[in-house]
Amino acid sequence: MDYVSGEILTEYGLQKGYLGFEKNKIIESGKGLSPKKPICKGLIVPTFVNAHTHIGDSFIRKKEIKLPKNVEALVAPPHGLKHKLLNEASEKEIIDGMKESLDIMTKTGTSCFCDFRENGIRGINQLKNALKNTTISSLILSRPNQLKYDKDEVELLLKNSQGIGASSISDWEYPELAKVAKHVKKRKKIFGIHASERSREDMDLILDLKPDFLVHMIYANDNDFERVNDNNVPVIICPRSNIFYDLKPNLKLLKKYKISFLVGTDNAMLNPPNILDEISHLKDLSKEFSILELLHAITYAPRKALNLDDCILASNSKAEFTVLDKKYLRALYISAY
């Protein structure tokens, strides 16, 4: 049996101790020094959860294309440049790009990601093909092909994914989107949506959809965040994606209203999906949150918000952990999946 030791990030803070593991399973956990020399020392944290990705556009990173620094022009359906490039790309091109992003996530300590999957059932199948022979797990939130409610299509999507990840209320005729959200809730699946990313949107209308989480909230104001807090809805922030458009996550209001927040890498065409880079960027961006709070946002918080297995870093749980160099916040990656 191998051991790691140091400070363990628990849901409630740091605890000095060690983990003993073998055959992809934690056999022993305890306080103080490990019984034998550890193979690694540092800050022991659960493997990471990347709470918001679009890895279908990974292939675009390799193209010599000048991407517009405007949210609507680049990513808004149905006419954003990303959607044009997705429609023109071959299956192999899209899937190969996805595989590269999956490899990056795995090698940088991410064990699960939540992907907003464009292109209907075709997009779901592309991601499932890319996931073959990998160890990383995913929550696939699909999306209808058209910005309208089709009962049969939504039912098919929900049978093949964990829910729906909508673009925003600004893209839809609201009654159509409300039908989609109601269908998702009826099937007890996940409904997530982008909110106030490129302009302020009506928070009452958004919350009436009963979302499980919101993404971005860049242009949301005090009243919006207060409403989100009242409804206990988590918010996912994607700082490196925001900065591409010269935007910033609203960290002060997240802190002020004690919003449970998660972190995602967003569009893979903009940045490789290394969640630690998001944390490093957030740490440089603001002093609102400590490094431990930021690490909590990519470990415990998303497991709770996304209803993932939260039995981690305990005896008889999977050996899913990463050891970080506290000084440089650099993954040493010794996780066994």
pLDDT band of residue 326 (cuts 50, 70, 90) is low
Alpha-carbon radius of gyration of the chain: 20
Question: Which DSSP category does 47 fall into?
Answer: P
Predicted local distance difference test score (pLDDT) of residue 291? 85
Mean pLDDT to the nearest integer, 157-171: 98
Q: Could you tell me which residues are beta bridge partners of residue 21?
A: 2, 26
Distance from the first to the final alpha carbon of the chain? 16
Which of 256-260, 307-311, 323-327 has the least mean pLDDT? 323-327
At 287 the pLDDT is: 84
Task: Measure the CA–CA gap between 306 and 64, rounded to whole angstroms.
Answer: 36
Q: Is the dihedral of CA 152, 156, 161, 165 positive or negative?
A: negative
What's the order of all strands across the beta sheet hosting 25-31? 25-31, 13-22, 2-10, 40-46, 321-325, 330-331
- Domain 2-45+313-331: CATH superfamily is Urease, subunit C, domain 1 (2.30.40.10)
Fold of domain 48-298: TIM Barrel (3.20.20)
pLDDT at 335 over 60: no
pLDDT digits (tens, 9 = 90+) for 223-235: 999 999 999 999 9
Percent of the chain's residues with pLDDT above 70: 96
Position 327 scores a pLDDT of 66
Q: What residues does CATH 2.30.40.10 cover in the chain?
A: 2-45+313-331
Least confident of 76-85, 220-229, 314-323: 314-323
Pairing relation of β-strands 321-325 and 40-46? Answer: antiparallel
Q: 4-39: string of b/e by CB count within 10 Å (b at 16+)?
A: bbbbbbbeeeeeebbbbbeeeebeebeeeebeeebe
Express as a percent the part of the chain with pLDDT over 90: 84
What tens digit of pLDDT does each residue of 252-284 get? 999 999 999 999 999 999 999 999 999 988 988
For the CA atoms of 136, 138, 143, 144, the dihedral, rounded to the nearest 10 degrees, stands at 90
Looking at the chain, the domain(s) classified CATH 3.20.20.140 span 48-298
